[in-house]
Amino acid sequence: MERKIRLYCFSFAGGTAQIYHSWTKYVDAAIELVPIEFSGRGRRFSQPLFTNLVDMVEDVFSIIQPDIDQKPYMIFGHSMGSLIAYELSKKLIQSGNQGPLHIFFSGRSSPNQPPKKKRYQLSDEELKKEIFQFGGTPIELLDDPGFISLFLPIIRADMKAVETYPTEDKITPLHCKISIFNGKQDHLVTNLEEWNHYTTKEIEYQFFEGGHFYLHDQAKEVVDVVNQKAHDYLSAKIN
């Protein structure tokens, strides 16, 4: 295999692949950055929105599965993207494909914890208030009718996918190392230690300044950690 590692990146609810654009100036040459665009937004705006996580995972699987065995790979998922990263990894392995070298689960409680609210059922005004409290979305945008008409259906669909995701009765641990990233001031994520059950290998925790959307301000710090992991794997392969 070529001495390069792919990094598949999955966004949060309501997000697009564009959120990882800033990473291009920090990511090491050893990494091939591959942000995945979910259906119904960004470059795929004309395609249907999914309201079921199984359908979202199936869609992502169809995009990356044909090339997944060409290079070793890692996965980074933030918030909703962490759930997709977990379910996709299971599906790839069950399909006979190579598993990831490493997964970075960011800004997300473990899959065995049920959602505290059903936000997708809120009225538009109530949902806007919830989004503002998350941080990451300026109030000017939330007051812009044009933005809201495009954004609200996307985040409502994503929230429904996440909030109707069936809590696992039996955990399926992955056979790769995992890193848990979170903002130091993120009060949306709880019981991070539950992630200990999700791998048979090593797990580590990294905390960054900021709240749920710490990624916006800490891109370099986050990518520095990812770069180091890639180098660790490549060095181990050489030696």
DSSP per residue over 100-137, as a string? Answer: PSEEEEES---TTS--S--GGGS-HHHHHHHHHHHSSS
Please tell me the number of Cα atoms within 13 Å of 93 on its side-chain side. 15
- Three-state DSSP at 116 gives coil
Residue 234: both structure tokens together? 């490549």
pTM of the model: 0.94
Residue 144: both structure tokens together? 């812009």
Query: Do 26 and 220 touch, CB atoms closer than 8 A?
Result: yes
Average pLDDT of the residues of the chain: 93
pLDDT one-digit tens code per residue, 1-43: 457 999 999 999 999 999 999 999 999 999 999 999 999 999 9
88 Cα distance to chain centroid: 11
Residue 180: both structure tokens together? 């848990």
- The Cα–Cα gap between 217 and 161 comes to 27
Active site residues: 79
- The Cα–Cα gap between 85 and 89 comes to 6
- The Cα–Cα gap between 163 and 211 comes to 21
- The Cα–Cα gap between 66 and 85 comes to 17
- The Cα–Cα gap between 94 and 88 comes to 10
The angle formed by the CA atoms of residues 70, 72 and 90, to the nearest 5 degrees, is: 95
Query: Do 184 and 208 touch, CB atoms closer than 8 A?
Result: yes
Query: Do 109 and 182 touch, CB atoms closer than 8 A?
Result: no
Mean pLDDT computed over 192-215: 96
pLDDT of residue 67 exceeding 70, the answer is: yes
Closest CA to 156 of 125, 122, 188: 122
- The Cα–Cα gap between 182 and 198 comes to 17
- pLDDT bin (cut points 50, 70, 90) of residue 237 is low
Residue 149's H or E segment, with its range, is helix 145-163
pLDDT of residue 239 exceeding 50, the answer is: no
Mean pLDDT computed over 160-174: 89
**Worst-scoring range by mean pLDDT, 60-69, 102-111, 130-139?**
130-139
Q: How many CB atoms lie within 10 A of CB 195?
A: 21
- What is the percentage of the chain residues whose pLDDT exceeds 90? 80
